[in-house]
Structure 1
Amino acid sequence: MSTMSAAATAEGLTAEPARVRAPARRRPGHTIVALHGDLDSAAAPALREHLLGVLRPSGRLLILDLGEVASCDEAGLAVLVGLQQRAEALGIIVRLDAANRQLTELLHLTGLDRVLVVQTAPGAQAVSAA
């Protein structure tokens, strides 16, 4: 009988907590941070700390590249909302880029697409209920 780790999924695969794919890329007026993995409760504390650390009043725009984010739960959403609130207090716009269909739909269902600036990946538009 084998034992599965706490991070194992029902299929027996281990989920990968969200990580920063590369250091923040600073450009004049904006910063880009690429994430991959799962935006979940396991990743939330370290992710929150890292993202708040890249906010700079000199940058007017923080772009989060979510092209390689596999999934997001309520803890991941809380990180995004908290980041948005802190950024807004500093006069910084947070833009979510390349959000996949699942994340785009989650943001729509929770109403966070009205709070967060979302640039979806091509073909990832949320389907509206008729």
Structure 2
Amino acid sequence: MNAIDTLPRSAVNATSPTLVHLSGDIDIATGPALRRRLMNTLAYSTGLLVLDLSQVTFCGAAGLGLLVGVQSRARARGITLALTRVPANVDRVLRLSGLAPHFPTTP
């Protein structure tokens, strides 16, 4: 199961980042719904979209593709996509794939 929680639109202002909490698996089964929700989130994101991955239990190749795709769409809108609270298993996948340097992280 995959869940996404975003701050309500009223809680977002132009100077604060848009924070999205993800949980569960990011894989081929959960990817399409998650992609749609993240694309909708980009519509009202500030200049910084932060994905909190602390509750992500698995990220497969489809999940990596999803992250790259969302990052590409974010850049096209002038939005920086950053990751925070990346679990060790997801960090390992990002490093092994060579993608880690392409995703800024926040504390």
Question: Which residue of the other structure, out of 70, 73, 78, is the alignment partner of 1:86?
Answer: 73
CA contact 2:83–2:105 (8 Å) conserved in 1: yes
Quote the sequence identity (%).
Answer: 37
TM-score normalised over the length of structure 2: 0.87
List structure 1 runs of 4+ shifted beyond 4 angstroms. none
Question: Normalized against structure 1, the TM-score is what?
Answer: 0.73
Contact 2:71 2:81 in 1 (8 A): yes
Please point out which of 68, 72, 93 is paired with 1:106.
Answer: 93
Task: Tell me the number of residue pairs that the alignment of Structure 1 and Structure 2 aligns.
Answer: 102
Larger Cα Rg: Structure 1 or Structure 2?
1
Say which structure is richer in helix.
2
CA distance in 1, matches of 2:61, 2:100: 15
Counterparts in 2 of 1:113-128, with a 5 A limit? Answer: 113-119=100-106
Partners of 2:50 and 2:83 within 8 A in 1: yes
**Aligned-residue offset at 1:57:** 6.5
Q: Mark the runs of 5 or more structure 1 residues left unpaired by the alignment.
A: 1-16, 121-130
Q: Which runs of 5+ in 2 are unaligned?
A: none
RMSD over aligned CA atoms reads 1.6
Matched letter for residue 27 of structure 1: V
Higher relative contact order (CA 8 A, sep 6+): 2
